[in-house]
């Protein structure tokens, strides 16, 4: 699949934004994070900023962004619509939560309920985002149960890395926030590693013979293309990344998204608070780039079954 | 809630019928017009050619019509030839200039004008114009296209493949298709194949390549190129040895029983024995005497040897046929290696042919009368049919190969019978048609028309167009010893001969609709050289003036001095005439018109109007009236209605006579065009049932055809298995008669002018070392592209913007080549770099590509980096007009020795992996585009109609 | 409206006969030509005269080879929307622009509400949806919904443009929900099949397989004609026997 930058940015930025939002809501409600005004202001702004930037970025991908509002209508069947509805819905409790937090600097019962709603909606939104892809039977690398888990885990992991910076910037961080990041990153890594193992082991389901519906006559080879320049389908669905290239990128993604951030967090724990903020910032940047690479690969490694008509032997 | 949509929107303000010209099939179309623009084009259901269907090209007509490559005004060259630098001029200036150039020639030496028209438009008009001008140097593109097919057929049975006949699709039980990728009958063949397969009729495709029609054939025979003659001869061998031929048919309709004199070394050897009235003789077994072969009440001998009065021996022509093809040289096992067809396959096909012909006999309960007046109450047919085209034609042995196929058809008794191959009226014609070419030395005079048409059919050396030194009088050397039976002229030789002044130079080369500097030239680099060569002494171009009419900015335009921009096919009147290449069906003649359905938005004029105008300005007889005023002031539509070729016979056959009640012959009718338009722009004259078969020997048909001028005599048309015309040339080559070939040509004429068809290896193959050039290289027409002009079409070029060289997969592996590799294709004249594609359905000794996809940079309003220009390639760069030098230094033309047909498909090459790179070679200087609109970066055709709807 | 109708009154669709498709592209360009001015007008083209010409088409024809060597086949394969009964291309659509009509089962995109998110094209395994880069909306085969009911067309012309054009008759249009329709019957008789049936989208369009070829590899075995090499059969050679036969009395 063609890795469109708007979509990569959308899923990664909004994922991190929701992750951060979830942690803020959770730890704010639990009182682990002090509900100070500036933490709230910056934390929620960052999270809303990322979410909103992601959502906006996703409209770059649209032919008619001015009609984007229509996408809220089909929540009954469409994961994309659900994602849109939930994304917007999340703003409500999350916004109120932010207001209470910033204005009153304490959450109370109301705040707790709002936090709960925020967490559920944010998780659901990320889940829906993942399901946009995971529900596509046409792409075997996406159509597996691990995909939503990876999306959620990565959202929580990137969110936790952000939370760690935030907490540390305000001097409230500490080993707990680093450990949280380490834990989440490790979990996400484990899931992503499982994902890669799964798709590497996966048997392609369909052959060119299935595609044209004639079996038992022999191998199908494309000899005369339907058009000599790539059309939309080939541009969109025909993107292929060379095996060598993708292996290198996977290593980079692992290093940047997981290894370096985890190392930084460990360093924070081991080297103490003076080093903490620097390490957290490095971790954040590294994770951001790493997740973008991971997401790019998520698209680039995905093979669409339609390519069977365009010369692929299996998909 | 589901949106409500308008399922019954308006489709057009107006629907006009006309005739398609995205290719030469000339289907009936309906053009949907909205706000004066073309919204949609579909096929006309009533039209006999396409019966409603339309092809990939026809449906893309909108993009042809709106192409940014359309020329916009007359152009006068200002830069060097080939630079593409022009100045726009007015029509007045253009026509004045043309008139002065042409007028000067006509006053001094009319043959200094060479007038050649490419595609088959209005040949009846252009040929007549040339003849009135007085130049013999006229031809259309037939000579490089398929004259082998036309000549072989017309000299054998008075009809031909091509569009002069068609299989009896409805009744045939076995169909063989030889060397056809698409052909002129594009839609009819497709429709028929669909029906044959659904009827369970076996379809056999003989073709080195399996695409298109071959893909759906029941059997694909991947023959080695140039060897079909052997395959056919082996089929004949099998049928003869097993006595599966129709002897009755032979005795009735052919010259099988005509006695051929066997008098080796004498002047009459091989001629027909004739009585005092010149009638051929036969041996009547009934009376045991010689008798006129044409009389009906004889029982003619088909075999045997008979002694004529004066002691000469004579044998029936059929005896010679039998002797030749029973020979073991043509046994299936002997031909297997050369053709690549296993002997068992040859034998099985022969058996299948026999089974279809003799066990599946078709009878129609339709009474008819034969030429002798005998009534028959049934029409009995041998339902085997065939069609063949350029895969046979475009080889230097094509004439004889095509004759062999006809011989096979005739032996099976399957010409113009139910289920067989049928003539389309005005065919059959006499054998050969009784029109002789004119232009002998004394016939070309200043200010004088030729005594007849420039093109025709010769019957012996005495008809050749040569002077007493044997020098050709035509610039293309047609009807000379180089190409004696060149029924269509040799368009492919004109530029070379004119530039070399061989046989003489010309002053003006006037061309119409032919991309002679590119895809229709043999060896493009050489032709470009000839077009720009100058005489070092005078610094004048060797071809001093070139006038050219095109509708688009093709590769040829840049080489013209004066460009006359034509309209598109939707903007003009045209006439698809019975005098030309009509759209007839086997069940009856049909002709058609094209009417302007939209008005041109540029300063362009229909070429026919321009030609009539020029004719009047030059005061050519026939183009002016007695007062010297233009005879057809209304332009081409005026001419279509009012011109009479012979009294009562004009371009259109229907609705003649002042009240429009006459067919075929009748006075001009001023409402004729309206009547055609009312009828869908065509007329189809269905023959009564009793005239539909055996037209060559059907009394009612022959009388009717003579009556309306299709044929000059209602004598039966007797198939010439044995061709006396060919033998006459052979006798000349052996020293008999006064008209003698030059010594350089004697052996060639003697060898190839064999009165019975035979197979010989194509010339290029025999002239070259097979190990150096082991592969055949051929081309095919893509079904969705018409030669060069499809690539400017924004829709069609999306389907194919680049051609690749296809090679047999196994062979590619042997050569270490993989899909998409770049290779050098090397022939004896040079090399071309191209990208390859692997396939199984290609003969292992053959490589091929799609024809004419490649474009020269800068032409056709395509970007300079268009794939057509950067990756496309032409095999034409490797094909020569002349063969490699032979002993004695003489270089024969790379064409069929009988007809001069260009041997495009004789090309031999080798393939080697090329260094990395992604551009094809050779590349020519980009041409600059003169005075055209800028092509858009994006097209949203149709948006205008959506907005117009509520 | 993105949820699929429970059932449709009709199942209109195409039946494509792979036995007689010659790959002529008539259906391809005729479709383009009708539809660029029709319901989903226009079908735009990018860089139409440049180095990378491409555009939105609703029907494409591929050329394949199947199998190896002697027994291999060349196959032309037209591909357009199959108007599936249970396709995800409809259910994934967030706007409802993609829908399946309840009355005839035609799957359509509403060009006025589509946001061009392209998700439906991702959900289609058959590559039937093409994005219009100029218009920013998804285009797909409409089954010529603006022809098949169009009262401004002659009744016999109320068929899709591709069917109307196809010179070989390889395309047929009809109600595949009606077992007595001509299309259903041909599917029955000829073993019509679904593309990627395992996918579960239940295509309405069907394909008819190529008929078995009738060459040596497929049991074409008409017995050879009786003939013997000259001299091999007793005293008389085949040639002599031929001449004896040809020497019969024949009337003219
Ligand atoms: N390698 C190879 N070469 C071949 C062949 C092959 O099989 N292989 N085939 C040969 C054969 S059979 C033929 S017939 C030739 C064909 O070759 P050409 O006769 O050159 O045919 P085209 O390229 O179709 O078009 C000729 C010109 O007609 C112009 N034209 C189009 N429409 C109009 C119009 O309405 N009015 C005017 N005035 N001009 C118009 C086009 O712009 C173009 O420049 O190619 C020959 N060349
Ligand atoms: N779409 C489209 N239609 C056209 C044209 C076009 O350009 N495009 N051009 C028109 C013109 S001008 C012409 S002349 C006709 C020509 O129509 P066709 O005769 O169909 O011409 P080609 O496409 O050259 O096809 C020649 C076929 O012969 C095969 N062949 C080559 N050598 C041999 C051989 O030795 N033996 C056998 N058995 N087969 C061989 C090739 O593989 C190819 O399939 O088409 C006309 N119709
Ligand atoms: S076959 Fe030729 S004439 Fe007929 S529709 Fe196609 S392009 Fe037009
Ligand atoms: S073919 Fe594709 S676009 Fe058409 S209905 Fe089926 S899934 Fe949808
Ligand atoms: S591209 Fe249009 S039709 Fe397709 S899913 Fe998006 S909104 Fe729906
Ligand atoms: S039914 Fe109409 S829209 Fe669909 S492929 Fe055929 S012509 Fe195109
Ligand atoms: S029009 Fe008919 S024969 Fe031609 S490609 Fe389409 S389906 Fe095949
Ligand atoms: Mo031709």
Q: Are B874 and B518 in contact (CB under 8 A)?
A: yes
Q: Which residue of B has its CA nearest to A73?
A: B1
The H or E element spanning position B380 is: strand B379-381
Our count of domains for chain C comes to 1
pLDDT class of C226 with cuts at 50, 70, 90: confident
In chain B, which stretches have pLDDT less than 50? 949-950
- Chain C nearest-CA distance from A78, in A, is 4
Pairwise CA distance, residues A69 & B303, whole Å: 92
C5 in a domain, yes or no? no
**How close is the Cα of C201 to the center of ligand 4, in Å?**
8
pLDDT of residue C231: 47
Determine, for residues B301 and C57 on separate chains, whether the beta-carbon distance falls below 8 Å. no
DSSP-assigned beta bridge partners for residue C98: C109
Q: Are B660 and B669 in contact (CB under 8 A)?
A: yes
| Ligand 5 lined by C96 (C-beta under 6 Å) | no
Q: How far is CA B53 from each of CA B191, C27, C169, rounded to the nearest angstrom?
A: 8, 10, 9
Q: Are B125 and B138 in contact (CB under 8 A)?
A: no
What does residue B564 show for φ and ψ, rounded to 5 degrees?
A: -105, 105
What structural domains and CATH numbers belong to chain B?
763-913 (2.40.40.20)
* Inter-chain CB pairs, B–C, below 8 Å: 324
Per the structure, the complete domain to which residue A169 belongs is given by 5-310
Residue whose Cα lies nearest atom 6 of ligand 7: it is C27
DSSP 8-state secondary structure symbol assigned to residue B703: H
Answer whether the bond into residue B875 is a cis peptide, omega within 30°: no
C100 in a domain, yes or no? no
What is chain A's length?
Answer: 315
Taking the CA of residue B564 as reference, the ligand 1 atom at the shortest distance is 38
Pairwise CA distance, residues A16 & A28, whole Å: 18
Determine, for residues A309 and C127 on separate chains, whether the beta-carbon distance falls below 8 Å. yes
Task: List, for residues C168-181, the tens digit of each pLDDT value.
Answer: 999 999 999 999 99
pLDDT class of C232 with cuts at 50, 70, 90: very low
**pTM to 2 decimal places:** 0.97
DSSP 8-state secondary structure symbol assigned to residue B406: H
Longest CA–CA separation in chain A, Å: 74
Which chains are within 8 Å of B by 3+ CB pairs?
A, C
B586 CB near a chain C CB, below 8 Å? no
Q: Which residues of A touch B1 (CB under 8 A)?
A: none
Determine, for residues A232 and C54 on separate chains, whether the beta-carbon distance falls below 8 Å. yes
**How close is the Cα of B767 to the center of ligand 3, in Å?**
39
Q: Is the pLDDT of residue A173 over 80?
A: no
A315 in a domain, yes or no? no
3-state secondary structure of B103: helix
How far is residue A207 CA from its own chain's centroid? 31
| Ligand 5 lined by C115 (C-beta under 6 Å) | yes
C36 CB near a chain B CB, below 8 Å? yes
Q: Are B44 and C181 in contact (CB under 8 A)?
A: no
Q: How far is CA B708 from each of CA B589, B702, B762, rounded to the nearest angstrom?
A: 11, 10, 42
Q: Which residues of C touch B59 (CB under 8 A)?
A: 26, 29-30, 32-33, 165
> Which CATH number covers residue C18?
3.30.70.20
Residue B87 structure tokens: 């100045």
Q: Tell me the mean pLDDT in the region A11-35.
A: 95
Residue B395 structure tokens: 């080889």
Average pLDDT, chain C: 94
pLDDT of residue B950: 46
Which of B215, B784, B799, B848 would you mutate first to test chain A, the one with the most A CBs within 10 A? B799
Query: In terms of Cα–Cα distance, which of B618, B597, B558, B480 is closest to B113?
Result: B618
> Which residue from B23, B24, B60, B118 has its CB within 8 A of the most atoms of ligand 1, so it is best to mutate?
B118
Q: Which residue of B has its CA nearest to A225?
A: B799
Residue whose Cα lies nearest atom 1 of ligand 7: it is C166
Q: Which residues of A touch C53 (CB under 8 A)?
A: 229
3-state secondary structure of B167: strand
Determine, for residues A223 and C123 on separate chains, whether the beta-carbon distance falls below 8 Å. no
ipTM above 0.90, yes or no: yes
- Chain C nearest-CA distance from B14, in A, is 11
Taking the CA of residue C147 as reference, the ligand 6 atom at the shortest distance is 2
| Ligand 4 lined by C139 (C-beta under 6 Å) | no
pLDDT class of C221 with cuts at 50, 70, 90: confident
Task: List, for residues C45-56, the tens digit of each pLDDT value.
Answer: 999 999 999 999
C170 CB near a chain B CB, below 8 Å? yes
C106 in a domain, yes or no? no
pLDDT of residue C70: 86
Ramachandran category for residue B27: left, alpha or beta (phi over 0 → left; psi -120 to 50 → alpha): beta
Task: List, for residues B28-37, the tens digit of each pLDDT value.
Answer: 999 999 999 9
Residue A246 structure tokens: 């993708």
C137 in a domain, yes or no? no
Pairwise CA distance, residues A80 & A55, whole Å: 12
Please report which ligand is nearest the Cα atom of B576: 3
A85 in a domain, yes or no? yes
Q: Which residue of B has its CA nearest to C166?
A: B53
C96 in a domain, yes or no? no
Q: Are B669 and B640 in contact (CB under 8 A)?
A: no
> Which CATH number covers residue A225?
1.20.1630.10
Q: Which residues of A touch B799 (CB under 8 A)?
A: 226-228
Taking the CA of residue C89 as reference, the ligand 5 atom at the shortest distance is 5
Q: Is the pLDDT of residue C235 over 60?
A: no
Query: In terms of Cα–Cα distance, which of A46, A56, A117 is closest to A86?
Result: A117
Task: List, for residues B914-934, the tens digit of each pLDDT value.
Answer: 988 889 999 999 998 778 999
Name the percent of chain C lying above pLDDT 90. 85
pLDDT of residue A271: 85
Partner residue facing B194 (CB), from C48, C112, C169: C169
Our count of domains for chain A comes to 1
Q: How far is CA B613 from each of CA B102, B510, B594, rounded to the nearest angstrom?
A: 13, 15, 20
* Inter-chain CB pairs, A–B, below 8 Å: 18
The H or E element spanning position B348 is: helix B343-354
Alpha helix (H) residue ranges in chain A: 5-30, 37-60, 79-104, 108-134, 146-169, 175-201, 208-212, 232-237, 243-253, 260-271, 273-300
Q: Look at the alpha carbons of B721, B722, B725, B727 in this order and tell me if their dihedral is positive or negative.
A: positive
Per the structure, the complete domain to which residue C26 belongs is given by 12-84+143-250
Q: CB B504: neighbour CB atoms within 10 A? A: 17
> Which residue from C100, C124, C205 has its CB within 8 A of the most atoms of ligand 4, so it is best to mutate?
C124
The H or E element spanning position B192 is: helix B186-199
Residue B510 structure tokens: 């006037």
Residue B722 structure tokens: 């044995």
């Amino acid at each position: 699949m063609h890795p469109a930058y708007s979509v990569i940015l959308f899923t990664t930025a909004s994922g991190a934004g929701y992750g951060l939002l979830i942690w803020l809501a959770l730890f704010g409600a639990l009182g682990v994070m002090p509900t100070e005004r500036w933490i709230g202001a910056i934390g929620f702004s960052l999270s809303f900023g990322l979410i909103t930037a992601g959502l906006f970025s996703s409209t770059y991908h649209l032919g008619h962004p001015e009609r984007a509002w229509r996408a809220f209508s089909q929540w009954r069947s469409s994961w994309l619509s659900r994602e849109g509805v939930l994304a917007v819905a999340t703003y409500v409790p999350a916004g109120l939560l932010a207001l209470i937090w910033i204005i009153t600097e304490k959450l109370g019962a109301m705040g707790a309920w709002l936090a709960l709603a925020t967490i559920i909606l944010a998780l659901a939104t990320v889940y829906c985002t993942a399901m946009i892809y995971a529900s596509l039977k046409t792409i075997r690398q996406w159509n597996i149960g691990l995909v939503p888990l990876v999306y959620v885990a990565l959202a929580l992991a990137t969110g936790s890395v952000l939370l760690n910076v935030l907490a540390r910037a305000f001097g409230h961080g500490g080993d707990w926030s680093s450990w949280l990041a380490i834990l989440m990153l490790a979990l996400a890594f484990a899931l992503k590693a499982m994902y890669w193992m799964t798709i590497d082991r996966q048997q392609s389901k369909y052959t060119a013979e299935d595609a044209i519906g004639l079996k038992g006559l022999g191998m199908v080879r494309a000899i005369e293309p339907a058009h000599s320049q790539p059309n939309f389908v080939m541009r969109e669905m025909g993107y292929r990344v060379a095996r060598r290239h993708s292996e290198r990128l996977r290593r980079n993604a692992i290093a940047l998204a997981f290894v370096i951030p985890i190392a930084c967090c460990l360093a924070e724990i081991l080297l103490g608070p003076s080093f903490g903020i620097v390490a957290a910032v490095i971790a954040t940047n590294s994770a951001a780039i790493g997740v973008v690479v991971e997401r790019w690969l998520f698209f680039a490694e995905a093979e669409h079954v339609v390519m069977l008509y365009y010369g692929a032997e299996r998909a | 809630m589901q949106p409500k949509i308008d399922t019954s929107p308006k489709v057009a303000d107006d629907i006009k019928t006309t005739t398609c010209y995205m290719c030469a099939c000339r289907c009936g179309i309906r053009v949907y017009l909205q706000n004066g623009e073309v919204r949609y084009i579909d096929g006309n259901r009533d039209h006999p050619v396409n019966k409603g269907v339309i092809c990939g090209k026809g449906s893309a007509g909108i993009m042809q019509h709106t192409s940014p490559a359309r020329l916009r005004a007359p152009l006068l060259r200002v830069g060097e030839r080939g630079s593409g630098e022009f100045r726009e001029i007015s029509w007045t200036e253009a026509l004045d200039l043309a008139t002065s150039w042409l007028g000067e020639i006509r006053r001094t030496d009319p043959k200094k004008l060479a007038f050649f028209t490419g595609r088959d438009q209005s040949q009846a008009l252009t040929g007549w114009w040339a003849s009135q001008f007085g130049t013999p140097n006229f031809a259309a593109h037939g000579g490089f296209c398929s004259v082998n097919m036309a000549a072989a057929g017309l000299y054998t049975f008075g009809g031909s493949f091509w569009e002069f006949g068609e299989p009896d699709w409805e009744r045939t039980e076995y169909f063989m298709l030889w060397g056809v990728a698409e052909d002129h009958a594009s839609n009819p063949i497709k429709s028929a194949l669909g029906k044959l397969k659904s009827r369970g009729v076996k379809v056999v495709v003989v073709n080195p390549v399996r695409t298109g029609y071959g893909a759906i054939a029941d059997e694909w025979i991947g023959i080695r190129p140039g060897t079909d003659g052997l395959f056919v001869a082996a089929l004949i061998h099998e049928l003869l040895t097993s006595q599966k031929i129709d002897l009755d048919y032979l005795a009735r309709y052919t010259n099988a029983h005509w006695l051929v004199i066997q008098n080796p070394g004498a002047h009459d050897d091989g001629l027909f024995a004739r009585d005092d009235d010149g009638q051929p003789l036969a041996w009547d077994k009934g009376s045991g005497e010689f008798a006129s072969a044409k009389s009906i009440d004889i029982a003619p001998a088909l075999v045997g040897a008979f002694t004529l009065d004066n002691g000469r021996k004579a044998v029936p022509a059929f005896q010679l046929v039998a002797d030749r093809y029973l020979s073991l040289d043509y046994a299936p096992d002997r031909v297997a290696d050369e053709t690549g067809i296993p002997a068992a396959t040859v034998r099985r096909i022969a058996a299948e042919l026999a089974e279809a012909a003799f066990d599946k006999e078709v009878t129609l309960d339709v009474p008819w009368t034969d030429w002798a007046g005998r009534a028959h109450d049934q029409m009995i047919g041998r339902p085997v049919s065939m069609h063949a085209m350029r895969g046979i034609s475009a080889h230097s042995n094509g004439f004889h190969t095509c004759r062999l196929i006809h011989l096979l058809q005739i032996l099976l008794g399957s010409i113009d019978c139910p289920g067989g191959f049928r003539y389309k009226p005005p065919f059959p014609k006499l054998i050969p048609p009784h029109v002789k070419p004119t232009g002998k030395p004394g016939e070309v005079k200043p200010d004088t028309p030729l005594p007849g048409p420039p093109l025709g059919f010769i019957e012996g050396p005495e008809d050749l167009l040569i002077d007493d030194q044997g020098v050709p009088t035509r610039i293309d050397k047609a009807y000379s010893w180089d190409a004696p039976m060149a029924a269509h002229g040799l368009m492919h030789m004109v530029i070379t001969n004119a530039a070399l002044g061989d046989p003489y130079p010309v002053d003006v080369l006037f061309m119409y609709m032919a991309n002679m500097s590119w895809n229709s030239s043999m060896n493009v680099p050489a032709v470009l050289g000839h077009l720009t060569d100058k005489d070092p002494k005078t610094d004048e171009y060797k071809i001093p003036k070139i006038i050219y009419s095109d509708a688009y900015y093709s590769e040829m335009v840049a080489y013209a001095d004066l460009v006359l921009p034509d309209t598109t096919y939707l903007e003009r009147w045209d006439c698809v005439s019975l005098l030309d290449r009509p759209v007839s069906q086997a069940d009856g003649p049909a002709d058609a018109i094209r009417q302007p359905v939209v008005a041109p938005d540029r300063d362009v004029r229909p070429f026919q109007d321009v030609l009539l105008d020029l004719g009047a300005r030059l005061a050519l007889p026939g183009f002016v009236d007695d007062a010297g005023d233009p005879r057809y002031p209304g332009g081409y539509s005026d001419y279509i209605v009012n011109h009479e070729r012979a009294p009562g016979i004009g371009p259109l056959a229907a609705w003649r006579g002042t009240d429009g009640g006459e067919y075929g012959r009748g006075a001009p009718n001023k409402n004729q065009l309206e009547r055609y338009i009312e009828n869908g722009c065509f007329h189809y004259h269905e023959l009564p049932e009793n005239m539909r078969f055996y037209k060559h020997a059907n009394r009612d048909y022959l009388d009717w055809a003579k009556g309306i001028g299709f044929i000059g005599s209602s004598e039966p048309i007797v198939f010439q298995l044995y061709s006396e015309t060919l033998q006459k040339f052979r006798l000349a080559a052996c020293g008999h008669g006064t008209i003698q070939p030059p010594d350089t040509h004697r052996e060639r004429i003697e060898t190839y002018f064999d009165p019975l068809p035979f197979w010989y290896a194509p010339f290029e193959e025999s002239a070259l070392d097979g190990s150096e050039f082991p592969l055949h290289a051929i081309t095919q027409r893509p079904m969705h592209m018409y030669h060069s002009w499809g690539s400017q079409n924004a829709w069609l070029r999306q389907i194919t913007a680049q051609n690749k060289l296809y090679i047999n997969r196994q062979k590619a592996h042997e050569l270490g080549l993989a899909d998409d590799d770049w290779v050098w294709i090397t022939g004896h004249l040079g090399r071309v770099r191209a990208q390859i594609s692997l396939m199984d359905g290609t003969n292992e000794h053959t490589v091929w590509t799609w024809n004419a996809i490649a474009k020269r940079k800068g032409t056709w309003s395509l970007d300079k980096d268009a794939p057509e220009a950067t990756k496309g390639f032409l095999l034409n760069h490797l094909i020569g007009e002349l063969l490699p030098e032979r002993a004695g230094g003489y270089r024969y033309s790379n064409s069929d020795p009988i007809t001069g047909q260009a041997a495009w498909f004789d090309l031999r090459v080798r393939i080697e992996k090329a260094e990395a790179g992604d551009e094809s070679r050779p590349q020519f200087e980009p041409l600059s585009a003169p005075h055209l609109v800028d092509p858009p970066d994006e097209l949203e055709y149709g948006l205008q109609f959506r907005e117009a709807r509520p | 409206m993105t949820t699929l109708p429970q059932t449709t009154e009709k199942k209109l669709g195409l039946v494509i006969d792979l036995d007689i498709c010659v790959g002529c592209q008539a259906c391809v360009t005729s479709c383009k030509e009708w539809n660029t001015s029709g319901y989903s007008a226009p079908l735009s083209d990018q860089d139409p005269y440049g180095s990378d010409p491409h555009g939105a088409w609703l029907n494409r024809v591929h050329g394949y080879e199947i199998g190896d060597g002697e027994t291999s086949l060349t196959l032309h394969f037209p591909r357009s929307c199959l108007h599936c009964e249970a396709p995800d291309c409809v259910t994934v659509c967030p706007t409802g622009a993609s829908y399946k009509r309840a009355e005839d089962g035609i799957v359509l995109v509403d060009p006025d509400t589509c946001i061009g998110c392209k998700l439906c094209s991702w959900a289609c395994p058959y590559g039937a949806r093409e994005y219009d880069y100029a218009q920013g909306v998804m285009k797909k085969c409409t089954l010529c919904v603006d022809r098949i009911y169009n009262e401004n067309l002659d009744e016999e012309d109320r068929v899709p443009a591709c069917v109307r054009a196809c010179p070989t008759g390889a395309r047929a249009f009809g109600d595949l929900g009606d077992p007595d329709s001509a299309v259903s019957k041909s599917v029955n008789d000829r073993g019509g099949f679904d593309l990627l049936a395992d996918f579960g989208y239940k295509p309405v369009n069907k394909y008819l397989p190529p008929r078995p070829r009738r060459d040596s590899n497929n049991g074409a075995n008409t017995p050879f004609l009786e003939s013997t090499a000259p001299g091999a059969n007793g005293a008389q050679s085949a040639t002599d026997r031929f001449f004896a036969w040809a020497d019969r009395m024949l009337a003219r």
